[in-house]
A and B are shown apart, each in its own frame.
Chain A
Amino acid sequence: EDQVTQSPEALRLQEGESSSLNCSYTVSGLRGLFWYRQDPGKGPEFLFTLYSAGEEKEKERLKATLTKKESFLHITAPKPEDSATYLCAVLSGGSYIPTFGRGTSLIVHP
């Protein structure tokens, strides 16, 4: 059974304090790993898709990386508007269904 574990569950940062969120996975045949951002009361917003180890994607202050066992979402010099819950999901084997982690709640203080 596929497992996706995100850590930490919650993270508080000061504005400008860079950090990383972790998504570790145990799957049989990774076909894709996805990162989402979710604001309170809203649906998840797609950020990145990674397909193979060594791949990196960037968008503004966010950079996602992938290894054979985990993915990191690096946040450089975060701002208060980066506060949200960040979700990771994987697609593996022959399934149509992505498996989601429980997310990391990020709060950035001004």
Chain B
Amino acid sequence: SQTIHQWPATLVQPVGSPLSLECTVEGTSNPNLYWYRQAAGRGLQLLFYSVGIGQISSEVPQNLSASRPQDRQFILSSKKLLLSDSGFYLCAWSVKGDTEAFFGQGTRLTVV
């Protein structure tokens, strides 16, 4: 069966510090991968998605970047965090085609 791992679960970082959130998927190959941010009462905002290794698409301009160094690994990064980067970050995967996405447990990021 397929599983998705996302870590860390919570993170408190000072303004200006770097960020690296990692997500890995097991039990499938060549998945679509997604990074979302969820703000309270505002739904899920898509940040990045990837259909293959090294293929990253960004939905909104921001202080963040994403990379997919391996087939089932997706990394969200920032060189210098802003207060506005605080939020709940979710990684998700889906198989190719008209199918549902499956989410990780999320990372609560607080920038102080």
Contacts and interface: CB of A to CB of B under 8 A. Distances in A.
A43 B104 contact: yes
Contacts, number: 49
A87 B102 contact: no
B83 interface: no
Interface of B is mostly: strand
Given A31-B98, A32-B98, A102-B43, A42 B51 contact: no
B41 interface: yes
Interface string B16-44: 00000000000000001010000001111
A91 B98 contact: yes
A53 B6 CA distance: 35
Interface residues of A, number: 22
B108 A100 contact: no
B97 to A, nearest CB: 9
A43 B100 contact: no
Interface stretch (A44-52, A60-68, A75-83): A44-52
Given A96-B49, A97-B49, A46 B44 contact: no
Contacts of A96: 32, 49, 51
Contacts of B44: 44, 87, 100
Contact of A43 (B49, B98, B106): B106
Contacts of B86: none
Contacts of A100: 43-44
Contacts of B111: none
B105 to A, nearest CB: 5
B99 interface: yes
Contacts of A110: none
B46 interface: yes
Nearest first, the 6 closest Cβ-Cβ pairs linking A and B are A43-B103, A102-B43, A31-B98, A100-B44, A32-B98, A43-B106
